[in-house]
Structure 1
Amino acid sequence: MKKIYTGIIVCAFPFLGFTQQQFENGGFESWENTGSPTEEPTEWSSLKTSGGGQAGVAPKVISKAPGRTGGSSIRMENESALGITANGILTNGRVFAPDFNPENGYVATISSEGKWNTPFTSRPDSLVGWYKYSPAGGDKGKVEVALHRGSTCELPEGNTPNDLVAVARFHMVGTTSNWKRFSVPFNYLNGNTPDYLLSVLTSGDSTLAVVGSVAYFDDLQLIYNLPVVTQNLVSNTYAITNTTGAAISVPYTVQGGLFSGTNEFIAELSDANGDFSDPIELGRITSSSSGTVSGTIPAQIQPGTAYRVRVRPSETVSGYTILLNDNDEDITITLTGSYIGFTGNSTSIVGEDPIDMMVYESPAATDREWKYSLTSGGPYESFDPVKVQVTESFSFANGGFYYVICESVIEGITSVSNEQAFYFGVLALPEAKNEENEFIAYQSGERIMMKVTKSADFAVYDALGRKLKSGTFSGTQTVTPKESGLYFIQFFDGQKQVTRKVIFSAN
């Protein structure tokens, strides 16, 4: 039952060597002494192998149960013995139950006995896991992990609190019938490097534990965050025009030694509100360490005062959660020329009510005209009557995709805005997933899902009539468009032809 933590990644840092360590058997898949009175998950111990006066007498409060993932988890239940409550308890140290007074029970690291200690020298960021809980009365189970120095540590904390380096603690409150994830940070008390890790899981609230409380635990994990920090920029104001962008240099820092030599660091620009849901790439470099990404803010994007930039790696690192920190300061982008965008509730490319747009012009325009086209890139036509206001509403007699621009006369020169596209008209989209329907099409994740009740030919077209995929199938079939927009799916089963329409939103 020797406790060994495995090093997953070894990295070189400028000032210290770092070995990431993880729970051994944190998923409780491996068990030892199976079928015997001392059956326990490997690398863990309970009252079954406790030291002290209750050894061999206390009820066996842990058992194997079906797992959230894999084959098994740990089940713990508070039971009654000789008029007292035996708390369900599991530890990677050793349980001590010296007498029948619950207040005298504890778990401990025993450095002099190899099977009752866990050498540990890392500094994880947080503790995560999964649990189910059925408390009796107001009982509260817990998970607690202590990183400590020295040869001995006890939980609850004994006479060695000064040896503690960090503690992560999670209390379960209320009934949780289905598996639920918990995540708690490590609270670091000092900058020391720990010598050992001691953990304890319970189904009851220490000396207040109530008979009948049942807890399940599975998939315990230590989380190590890997921040990629974007530093402050030399300038937070950038001027662009309708035809020229602005050069930008984005410095960043990252812990070295984790990314490969083929990794790329990519600088990204948020939207005008600082949101990175759909970032604009500014530039990239191939690197494994800290540096600066040189790039360009593109011409003719929406001006604003709350942009942010960030740098992200192209690679992931096994065992780490990569944290992307932006530059922490708002960026102002000014546009000389014109830019059009949706206003009010017109944030979608689909609408049956008038679509409202406005034009931003700098310097102020002396004249302007809005135009439209049925094809992206034009040729563009004048509206009838002509539309010339800063803010205009658009509606059309026929449904379909429309592409709108604004031509603004600024200082005697006609400045053509960016193009905005939207679908005007009533669309029953996405198609309802009615299982009584013979032909079904809808978006599912990053794909369009098609279902038929019998063999049928199919073809998928985009809004411009380009065929993306075709064939014959029965059951289900998928297609993954590269762009957001309107897609038409034609089905033919030999007797009838049906067309389904899906508005697809790419992530």
Structure 2
Amino acid sequence: MLVKKALFVIAASLSLYTSATAQNTIPNPGFENWVNQGTYEDPQDWATLNQETSLLGISTVTKATGTDAHSGTSAIRLETKSVAGQIVPGTAITGVFNPLSLEINGGFSCNVRPVSLSGWYKYSPAGLDGGSVEVILSKWNPATFLREPIGSGIFIEPIAVNTYAYFTATINYVSSELPDTAVIILLSSAYNTPIPGSILFVDDLVFDLPSGISTPAHSYEISIYPNPNYGTFSIEIPSQYSVLNTQICIYNMLGEQVQHSLIRSSANLLINLTAQPSGVYFVSIETADAVKMQKLIVR
């Protein structure tokens, strides 16, 4: 089975924000932006299993349009299918998913304590199956070099819902700390007992924030250049961020860490990846203020 409930290794985020500002930073929350990968499309800033299943001409995640979108022009459609003798749930994750180890690296920046994750969905289960939307909040501990759980919430639907309905996944906190990273997982089937034919639609995700907290007006970017490149590139961190003990982790498309560096001084960093093969990588950058993950292409 390609997907089951795994231990999550959450090491970075998709956007860099000032840590003093409250945020509702879910990437591509209405699934309006999609990336054409040739034989399939993926929602921008979300990882799926389409790269693996498309080798057999199968996509478990597709763009839903028309009446299958709750608002805007599109939503996400996840379907559980049989792939080479294995049952594969439709899966979408705000991170980098390793189908071999079943771990997730990455996430997106979140430095508030949302009450819940909400959105719109409809569901067509096969048999006694159940679809789900899950959110996990965590925080990097620089003293232990470990990521610690802050809270999580999950919404599970075991029955058919033929028209869009509103859902809420209440977040249960296990720590009084503020998180710095969030991961959202969408599944068209139960973790351990997926059934082919189950279909989940999701649209318009939003964090429900405590009263009086607003979302940021803008974000700050870290520059990686050139991108694409031939294995050597520079990383420039804006001056408003401390570079003391900045961590740089690079992952391949399987979610395997291929390089790790600890930066102690310079805000302009030169990285050498020439020992790795050409392909798509993800650069995780974690400063004392915030975290970021960015796609990198090595030719």
Residue 73 (1) aligns with residue 72 (2): no
Residue of structure 2 in register with 1:182 after alignment: 167
Task: Render the CA deviation track for 1:95-127: whole Å, top value 9, x for unaligned.
Answer: 2221xxxxx6x34124xxxxxx42332211111
Report the number of matched residues: 198
Match of 2:204 among 191, 210, 219: 219
What is residue 94 of structure 2 aligned with on the other side?
A: 92
The alpha-carbon distance between structure 1 residues 183 and 5, as it changes in their structure 2 partners (threshold 3 A), is farther
Is residue 196 from structure 1 mapped to residue 181 from structure 2 by the alignment?
yes
Report Cα offsets for 1:280-324 as digits up to 9, x if no partner: xxxxxxxxxxxxxxxxxxxxxxxxxxxxxxxxxxxxx789xxxxx
Separation in 2 of the partners of 1:208 and 1:5?
A: 34
> In the alignment, is the contact (CA less than 8 A) between 1:46 and 1:95 conserved in 2?
yes
Q: How do 1:179-328 residues align onto structure 2 when only pairs under 5 Å count?
A: 179-226=164-211
1:44 is aligned to 46
Alignment of structure 1 residues 336-375 onto 2, 5 Å: none
Residue 4 in 1 paired to residue 14 in 2?
A: yes
Is residue 109 from structure 1 mapped to residue 105 from structure 2 by the alignment?
Answer: yes
Contact 1:142–1:169 under 8 Å retained in 2: yes
* Residue equivalent to 1:60: 59
Q: Is the 8 Å Cα contact of residues 109 and 118 (structure 1) preserved in structure 2?
A: no
**Which amino acid is the alignment partner of residue 37 of structure 1?**
T
Q: Structure 2 counterpart of 1:42, which letter?
A: Q
Give how far 1:149 is off: 2.1
Take 1:58 and 1:139, find their aligned partners in 2: how far apart are those partners? 24
Give the Cα–Cα distance (whole angstroms) in 1 for the partners of residues 124 and 131 of structure 2. Answer: 10
Change (3 A) 1:58 1:165: farther
TM-score (norm 1): 0.36
1:433-472, aligned counterparts within 5 Å? none
Q: Distance in 1 between matches of 2:43 and 2:163?
A: 22
Deviation digits for residues 177-197 of structure 1 (CA, Å, limit 9, x no counterpart): 000000122111101222321
Q: After TM superposition, give the deviation of residue 132 of structure 1 in Å.
A: 0.6
Q: Is the 8 A contact 1:26 1:220 kept in 2?
A: yes
Q: Aligned AA for 1:26?
A: P
In structure 2, relative to structure 1, the CA distance for the partners of 1:49 and 1:192 (3 Å cut) is farther
Contact 1:107-1:200 at 8 Å conserved across structures: no
Q: Is the 8 Å Cα contact of residues 136 and 211 (structure 1) preserved in structure 2? A: yes
Q: From the CA coordinates, give the structure whose radius of gyration is larger.
A: 1
CA gap of 1:83–1:218, structure 2 versus 1, over 3 A, is same
Looking at structure 2, the residues matched to 220 and 81 of structure 1 have their Cα atoms a distance apart, in angstroms, of 29
In the alignment, the residues of structure 2 paired with residue 143 and residue 71 of structure 1 have an alpha-carbon distance, to the nearest angstrom, of: 21
Distance change >3 Å, CA 95–CA 72, structure 1 → 2: same
Looking at structure 1, the residues matched to 29 and 169 of structure 2 have their Cα atoms a distance apart, in angstroms, of 16
Paired residue for 1:338? Answer: none
Q: Specify whether residues 58 and 124 from structure 1 end up closer, same or farther in structure 2 by C-alpha distance, changes over 3 A only.
A: farther
CA distance in 2, matches of 1:19, 1:45: 25
CA–CA distance in structure 1, aligned partners of residues 32 and 198 of structure 2 = 23
TM-score (normalised: structure 2): 0.60
Equivalent residues of 1:127, 1:222 under 8 A apart: yes
- 2:155 aligns with one of 157, 170, 178: 170
Aligned 8 A contact 1:149 1:196 in 2? yes
Q: Give a deviation string over 1:379-398, Cα, whole Å, max 9, x none.
A: xxxxxxxxxxxxxxxxxxxx
Greater than 3 Å deviation, 4+ residue runs: 2-7, 54-59
CA shift, 1:133, in A, is 0.4
Matched, 1:144 2:146: no
The Cα of 1:167 is off from its aligned counterpart by 0.2
1:118 is aligned, of 99, 102, 108, to: 108
1:242-292 Cα shifts (integer Å, max 9, x gaps): xxxxxxxxxxxxx6xx7xxxxxxxxxxxxxxxxxxxxxxxxxxxxxxxxxx
1:20 pairs, out of 20, 23, 36, with: 23
Provide the secondary structure at the position in 1 that maps to 2:209: strand
CA RMSD of aligned residues (A): 2.8
TM-superposed deviation, 1:58 = 8.6
- Are the aligned partners of 1:80 and 1:211 in contact in 2 as well (CA < 8 Å)? yes
SS in 2 for 1:165: strand
Distance 2:134 2:23 in 1: 20
Deviation at 1:78, TM superposition (A): 0.5
Write the letter of the residue equivalent to 1:72.
Answer: S
Matched AA of 1:85: I
- Distance in 1 between residues matched to 2:172 and 2:26, nearest whole Å: 18
For structure 2, the residue ranges without an aligned partner over 5 or more in a row are 1-11, 217-299
Asked whether the equivalents of residues 25 and 108 of structure 2 are also in contact (C-alpha less than 8 Å), the reply is no
SS in 1 for 2:109: coil
